[in-house]
A and B are shown apart, each in its own frame.
Chain A
Amino acid sequence: MTNTMIEIKDLTAAVDGTDILKGLSLSIKPGEVHAIMGPNGSGKSTLANVLAGRPDYIVTGGSVTFNGVDLLGLEPEERARAGVFLAFQYPAEIPGVNNTYLLRAALNAVRTARGEAEISAVDFMKLAREKMKLMQMDASFLNRGVNEGFSGGEKKRNEVFQMAVLEPTLCVLDETDSGLDIDALKIVANGVNALRDEARSFLMVTHYQRLLDYIVPDYVHVLAGGRIIRSGDKSLALELEARGYDWLLEEAAA
């Protein structure tokens, strides 16, 4: 396929009055996996949140076209229904709200937007159990409050589990690997890899090369000062691991 799924052009965005993204352009085609790396404060998480429409993240310029639609003109829930999923870096806890209940409401919102019928409780449970097996999650997970009292690793696993159930078109992973031990990282990576297909794309924000050993990206981009300063393939990530970011920053400044 050659058509573009998401086209980000000259995107600028501010948080609390501070400009973070300063003219970011990126284009992702269906089926591609892109990794975004970069030093702290470079704007990686801001990009993820801006795409999802987080209220405090103010877009000041540029455009984002998602499957031909102006993504920035949509409310967060409309973006989600259109197929944009954000696996949060810090998933919110919602005490008393059942995991299953939230997820089924979410799935039905997405299905309704697609013009599909709502899923029955029985079919939903079947689907949920299947995906939980994939994520090696205990059945008790379903009856707990949303992220309530979850460990860091459980929260991240829950994010990918939700992603597996909702089957979005564009999966944005915001440091999904941080705080995971190696076993949990493998499980999360397996979950993501199982979702990879020619129609689904991934944008992964990460600090560490090691995630990319398990989820092999098609492209690696280095974000610094709110712009992409270098793009390459997986070897770029290995080079970054070996050499750090300074040489790139110096090159960019030169």
Chain B
Amino acid sequence: MSTNSNDVNDFVDQKYKHGFVTDIESETFPPGLDESVIRAISARKQEPEFMLEWRLKAYRTWLDMKPPSWAHVSHPPIDYEAISYFSAPKKDADKPQSLDEVDPKLLETYDKLGIPLHERARLAGVAVDAVFDSVSVTTTFRDKLAESGVIFCSFSEAAREHPELVKKYLGTVVPQRDNYFAALNSAVFSDGSFVFIPKGVRCPMELSTYFRINEMNTGQFERTLIIAEEGSHVSYLEGCTAPMRDENQLHAAVVELVALDDAEIKYSTVQNWYPGDEEGRGGIYNFVTKRGDCRGDNSKISWTQVETGSAITWKYPSCILRGDNSVGEFYSVAVTNNRQQADTGTKMIHIGENTRSTIVSKGISAGRAQNAYRGLVKIMPQAKGARNYTQCDSLLIGSDCGAHTFPYMEVKNASAKVEHEATTSRIADDQLFYCRQRGIGEEDAVNLIVNGFCKDVFRELPMEFAVEAQALLNVSLEGAVG
């Protein structure tokens, strides 16, 4: 027999499949950060004056702040002076107006990733705003969206074309001094997506952005802002994958969502940043601030995420349930393998009356990875009749990994109802053998067990994304047994 009792321990040898580098000459700022760099970024993006002022204010705030140390992760100190804060494909000046004009090498890269942009966009009816390094290179279906009044463009473009909207909403959900990385992002953010759904409009298609890091030593500082006006509805998909790298790469994104009365935002993420090699060398540091503000009554914000990548993930998509009867949801699958570390979870802040939140978190650890769930449910004094349900499950593959759960609850209104359930289980050799004895191959058996475990989250994802997420999960754990 080629198998032995160490089956489960060997579950970890999968090499990163998307490991390649596109050879496009990039124009990259020299490493280091000071006010002149921020001025240069702003100038390159031809931003209005208010943006520059906003960035500078954030930078000065950041200088006074210290990196957080409370997360259940460990890494060497980050040298912020060694990071280059801007990188753009060189052909920026004459940006492609259609896919035909896009650098073929870039399209090739997407093909390798299994993202045939045009086909995917057309067949799936998805508009794709592809972010390659720091500048959007192509945006599709803009016209169709424009017909219904939906604005879907790069953040830099929004700052130029819709300054009034940017000015009104930027930083209102995640203030500049919210945390260290949010402040840094506010100062140097490169680009990202801007979405505006006007009153009463149901966005005619699912909006999607693919992010990708492709430049050595370049911090990626995405900034996304989604605004759903009264009674509108939008589903936004974010997915990313990165080529193999030697240096650690810092990724500090900020996502702000605003839902007004009766509006609904569904934000789905499949995250596959390069996790580093078996020892965790060269993986992405993913320090993200994602927050949704249910500003209006009866509004709803739903986060669904599948996290398989990054050396370190530090991420808590949160909902501020300000409007009465507003609803916040968080569905998460976080997979860590080898030396990956994830400290992820959510915050549900109940302010309005009869606000409801649901948290379903599934953590999967393999190899020597550490996976932590950290969640805060806060019921404010005025949040009469607030309800929360939290379910937190951990699955361990092998015996050298860890799962940790840090639930925090602050309940300041006696009428609130807060429930928390947590389980930890292990893929055991006898489960694997059971499946194999029924004729199911080893990897299929692991996938079966893992997918069963994640079912509650996958069914929240849009159909085509769910298939992709499942495939990604299978790839992430491929070769981990036997």
A contact residues vs B (CB 8 Å cutoff): 52-56, 58-59, 72, 75-77, 79-81, 85-86, 88, 90-98, 101-103, 105-106, 109-110, 113, 145-146, 162, 166
Q: Which of chain B's residues have a CB closer than 8 A to the CB of A94?
A: 431, 434-435, 448-449, 452
| A102 & B435 in contact (Cβ 8 Å cutoff) | yes
Q: Which of chain B's residues have a CB closer than 8 A to the CB of A91?
A: 434
Residue of B nearest to A49 (CB): B433
| B438 & A92 in contact (Cβ 8 Å cutoff) | no
CA distance A101 to B436 in the complex (A): 14
Greatest chain B CB density within 10 A among A76, A85, A91, A92 is at A76
| B448 & A80 in contact (Cβ 8 Å cutoff) | no
| B5 & A55 in contact (Cβ 8 Å cutoff) | yes
Total number of B residues with any Cβ neighbor in A under 8 Å: 28
Among residues 412 to 446 in chain B, which have CB atoms less than 8 Å away from a CB atom of chain A?
425, 428-431, 433-442, 444
Q: Which of chain A's residues have a CB closer than 8 A to the CB of B452?
A: 94-98, 101, 145
B404 on the A face (CB < 8 A):
no
Q: Which of chain A's residues have a CB closer than 8 A to the CB of B451?
A: 97
Kindly identify which residue among A76, A90, A96 contacts B436, using a CB–CB cutoff of 8 Å: A76
B167 on the A face (CB < 8 A):
no
Number of A-B contacts (CB under 8 A): 97
Minimal beta-carbon separation of A13 from chain B (angstroms): 11
| A55 & B434 in contact (Cβ 8 Å cutoff) | no
B1 on the A face (CB < 8 A):
yes
Kindly identify which residue among A86, A90, A96, A146 contacts B437, using a CB–CB cutoff of 8 Å: A86
The majority secondary structure among interface residues of chain B is helix
Greatest chain A CB density within 10 A among B431, B433, B455 is at B433
Kindly identify which residue among A52, A77, A93, A101 contacts B448, using a CB–CB cutoff of 8 Å: A101
| B436 & A59 in contact (Cβ 8 Å cutoff) | no
B453 on the A face (CB < 8 A):
yes
B74 on the A face (CB < 8 A):
no
| B453 & A95 in contact (Cβ 8 Å cutoff) | yes
Minimal beta-carbon separation of A243 from chain B (angstroms): 35
| B430 & A109 in contact (Cβ 8 Å cutoff) | no
B278 on the A face (CB < 8 A):
no
Minimal beta-carbon separation of B25 from chain A (angstroms): 49
Sorted nearest first, the 9 A-B pairs with minimum C-beta distance are A97-B452, A106-B438, A109-B439, A96-B452, A80-B439, A92-B434, A76-B436, A77-B436, A92-B430
| A55 & B437 in contact (Cβ 8 Å cutoff) | no
B98 on the A face (CB < 8 A):
no
| A55 & B433 in contact (Cβ 8 Å cutoff) | yes
CA distance A101 to B434 in the complex (A): 14
Minimal beta-carbon separation of B41 from chain A (angstroms): 47
| A97 & B449 in contact (Cβ 8 Å cutoff) | yes
CA distance A107 to B294 in the complex (A): 47
C-beta contact mask, B1-24 vs A, less than 8 Å → 1, else 0?
111110100000000000000000
| B1 & A53 in contact (Cβ 8 Å cutoff) | yes
| A109 & B425 in contact (Cβ 8 Å cutoff) | no
Minimal beta-carbon separation of A250 from chain B (angstroms): 37
Kindly identify which residue among A76, A79, A105, A166 contacts B444, using a CB–CB cutoff of 8 Å: A105
Q: Which of chain A's residues have a CB closer than 8 A to the CB of B439?
A: 77, 80-81, 106, 109-110, 113, 166
CA distance A15 to B133 in the complex (A): 55
| B429 & A55 in contact (Cβ 8 Å cutoff) | yes
8 pairs across A/B with beta carbons < 8 Å? Answer: A55-B1, A77-B440, A79-B437, A80-B436, A88-B437, A97-B451, A110-B439, A145-B452
| A77 & B431 in contact (Cβ 8 Å cutoff) | no
Q: Which of chain A's residues have a CB closer than 8 A to the CB of B437?
A: 52-53, 76-77, 79-80, 85-86, 88
CA distance A52 to B434 in the complex (A): 10
